[in-house]
Structure formats: structure tokens, C-alpha cells
A and B are shown apart, each in its own frame.
Chain A
Amino acid sequence: MNMNISTQETVFFLLAAVIVVFSILTVTTRRILRSATYLLFVLFATAGIYFQLEYSFLGAVQLTIYAGGIIILYVFSILLTNQQADEKLERLKNSKVLAGALAAVAGVGITLFLLLTHPFGSSRLAGGEVPVKEIGTALMGTGKYQYLLPFEVISILLLACIIGGIMIARKR
């Protein structure tokens, strides 16, 4: 490995370590509240990757929606559904855990094999920061490479989810 480690690389390895470690912890810890907390760290690190890729807008969205919104939702629902929030999760049969672990490891192995042997060609970061103006134009336009229709669709989806969530969760 090259000994001249740049700042970018340092940041990446830090983020990668956080993601890997906390992903695994998320799915292995036996306390559900910790699990949610570790997920929060993974999401933060993901946002960091977006920033590093110079998709600052995406990173901001990730932080506000995922880390800021969804995780709060999780924490609240965990607190709502568990009498003791730190209640330990039910232990599974070892054979099932083992089978899941084996499947996951095999999947990682095959995927990594594919990734590392596939020639991706020019694999350099390129382009630079995407200006927000461009994003706004693309979202609001109807031309080629413009996304007004998906934007509207997802607006309606969100509306439907709000109504659906209320309908489902309201007290009868």
C-alpha cells in the first residue's frame, strides 16, 4: 500500500471502518435501542461518503431525512413498543444464526469476488460539486434528464403515506 496517505483517503478509511463496524454491530447487538443507535452512526457515515463524493445535497438530505427523521421515528416506536427499552432481544436457535451468517458471508464473498475481478474502466472521481441550481432545474423540468414526474409521484406517495400512517395507527 502506498505510504502517502492523503486526507481524502484517511477520511474514507475512517468512514469505511465506521460503516463496516457499526453495520455489523447493528445486526448483532441484542438490545434494540442500541441497534437503532448504531444504525444512526452508519447513516452518518453514509452521509460522509456522499460529502466525499461531492454530492453535498445528497449528504444533507441523508442527514436530515434519515438521521434526523427516520431514526427519531425508530427510537420513538421502540420506546412505544417495548416496556423496557433496553430489553434484550430474543435469542435465536444457533443453527438459524449460523445459517444466516453463512449465507451472508457467502454472499459477501461472491460479491467481492465479482467486484474485484470486474473491470470497471475509468474509476476516478470526476466532475466536481453538483450545484443546487442544477438539481432544482432538473427536478422541476419536464425535458430529457429532468424529473418533474417522479417528483410529483413521490409527493403523492408521501401524502398517501401520511394519510395511511394516520389511518393505520389511529386508535379505534
Chain B
Amino acid sequence: MEGLHLEYYLVVSAVMFFAGVYGFLTRRNLLAILISIELILNSVDINFALFNRFLFPGQLEGFFFTLFAIGVSACETAVAIAIIINIYRNIRNIQVRNLGQLKD
């Protein structure tokens, strides 16, 4: 335990976060984008837990924030996947560039 500083964890979560950002920017498939978002959310969750544990050990705010964030991301994923499936039903495709067809 002695050698594990806060920074070690933060580096990991930062890498995860920007991996998510990269995916978000470059993917064209809606599901792949959603997966990237999961990465981003996850890295933020880790950060909340980390700060709570390292900097404010006596309290539980970060802990509960992470807990609720997991709940919210579950909701978000559920609804997003419902929408994606609906889109797929309509245009037989879930590529971002084809979403313009939905306007018609």
C-alpha cells in the first residue's frame, strides 16, 4: 500500500478517458460510440471513488456519486439502445452518417 499514490490511479483513468474520447470522435457506428461513452463514464466513476478514498477518507460523497452514476449510466444505456434498435428498424442501419434520413 505504501507505494501506491493517487497519481498512479489517476493516470490510468486519464488514459481510459481519452481512449473513450478518441472512440467517440472516430467511430461511426452508434453502438461503438455508446461503448466509448461507457469508457468515459467509467473513468469518471473511478476518479470520484479515488478522490473520496485518498483525499476525504472519512466521508462518502464520492462513493455515492459513483453509485448513482452507475445507476444513471445503466438508464442511459438502456434508453439509448432502445433508440438505436428503433433506428435500426427504420433504416436498417446504425451508421451516424445515415441518421440524416430520420429528418425526412
Interface of A is mostly: helix
Contact status of A168 and B25, CB under 8 A, knowing A8-B1, A89-B32: no
Task: Tell whether B11 is near chain A: CB-to-CB under 8 Å.
Answer: yes
Nearest residue in A to B30 (C-beta to C-beta)? A81
In this complex, what residue of B is CB-closest to A30?
A: B32
For window 1-56 of B, CB contacts with A under 8 Å fall at: 1-12, 14-23, 25-29, 31-32, 34-36, 38-39, 42, 45-46, 49-50, 53-55
- Tell me how far the C-beta of A45 lies from the nearest C-beta in chain B, rounded to whole angstroms: 9
Q: List chain B positions with a Cβ less than 8 A from chain A.
A: 1-12, 14-23, 25-29, 31-32, 34-36, 38-39, 42, 45-46, 49-50, 53-55, 57-61, 63-64, 66-68, 70-79, 81-86, 88-89, 94-95
Provide a sorted-by-A list of 10 A–B residue pairs whose CB atoms are within 8 angstroms. Answer: A19-B16, A35-B32, A53-B49, A53-B50, A78-B31, A80-B85, A124-B5, A145-B60, A147-B68, A169-B82
